[in-house]
Amino acid sequence: MKLFNLSKCGFLPLLPLCITLFFTNHTKAQVKVWNNSNVTIGWANTAPNENLNVHGDSYFKPSSSTYGSSITGFHFRNYHNNVTATGTTGTTWYNEPMLWCQWSKTAWIGTANEEIYRVFATRLYASDGMVHTSDRRLKTNITEWEGSALTKINNLKVYRYDMDPTKFQNVPEEKKAVIAEEAKNKIGFIAQELQEEFPELVKPIPGTEYLGVDYTMMIPVLLEAINEQQALILELQEKILKLEGK
């Protein structure tokens, strides 16, 4: 049995200086410091590349003395699943990391004042909708739409397509078939074509050479086009009534 002070292992941002840890160098030790000074928690037979490597599920919970005895925590755990691209049960099992809250609907990611700047994901599910901040008090340089949205929309083409599965990088070999299946039967625009009419809706994807489309911002444009179309319908109705009255 040896005595080891974590303050000598680069853990100052994570743990108080006063924490001292007893460990053994046995190959099946649950806490082990390797020759490269990195630490594993849980059984491991090879030295990790990370300063701290945890084998098995991890549970994090704030101090009850600070937040009370009813506080919740969250887990980093393995999700062993066999869900296919269509959401049904398949025959192939996948092991994937998961952030799991202690009780349903109790975890936050950031706050309104401490936002996550960017989130990259293949698919997002929201059981209660998605809310976009749109308060007038948060906006400046407000001007009304100018020009004909309807004319611009008439210049657009809508496509059916499959995403190119060869463009997906760093995907586990056993998961490629599922991801390729999910990438089929899409409906949307071509970003380069949309950019010609609505450059505000097309954004470069950080870290890549590709373009993305803000489909949510397309909604007010479509509403403006509907308003234009409705005004045209009313104008034609008035003309028809005048002709019928003659």
Q: What are the pLDDT digits (tens) for 142-175?
A: 999 999 999 999 999 999 999 998 888 788 877 8
Is 31:39 a contact under the CB 8 Å cutoff?
yes
Residue 80 has pLDDT above 80, yes or no: yes
What value does the mean pLDDT take over residues 8-35? Answer: 57
Give the C-alpha separation, 176 to 168, whole Å.
9
pLDDT at residue 26, rounded to an integer: 56
Mean pLDDT of the chain: 84
pTM beyond cutoff 0.95: no
pLDDT for res 173: 79
Q: Which residue has the tokens 């296919």?
A: 84
The per-residue pLDDT for 91 is 77
With 0-12 / 13-18 / 19 or more C-beta atoms within 10 angstroms meaning exposed / middle / buried, residue 32 is buried
Q: What is the pLDDT of residue 27?
A: 54
Instruction: State the DSSP code for 146.
Output: -
The answer to whether residue 18 scores a pLDDT higher than 50 is no
* Residue 134 DSSP code: -
Lowest mean pLDDT among 21-25, 31-35, 193-197, 206-210: 21-25
What the block records as the tokens of 59 is 């549970």
Give the residue-averaged pLDDT of 217-222: 95
pLDDT at 101 over 70: yes
**C-alpha distance across the termini of the chain, in Å:** 106
Domain boundaries, the chain: 2-101, 149-246
Residue 28 pLDDT class (50, 70, 90 cuts): low
Q: Which of 37-46, 110-119, 173-182 has the lowest mean pLDDT?
A: 173-182
pLDDT score of 7 more than 70: no
Q: Is 51 helix (H, G, I), strand (E, B) or coil?
A: coil
Q: Is 23 helix (H, G, I), strand (E, B) or coil?
A: strand
pLDDT exceeds cutoff 80 at 22? no
pLDDT at 185 over 60: yes
For 68-101, b/e burial (b = at least 16 CB within 10 A) is eeeeeebeeeeeeeeebeeeeeeeeeeeeeeeee
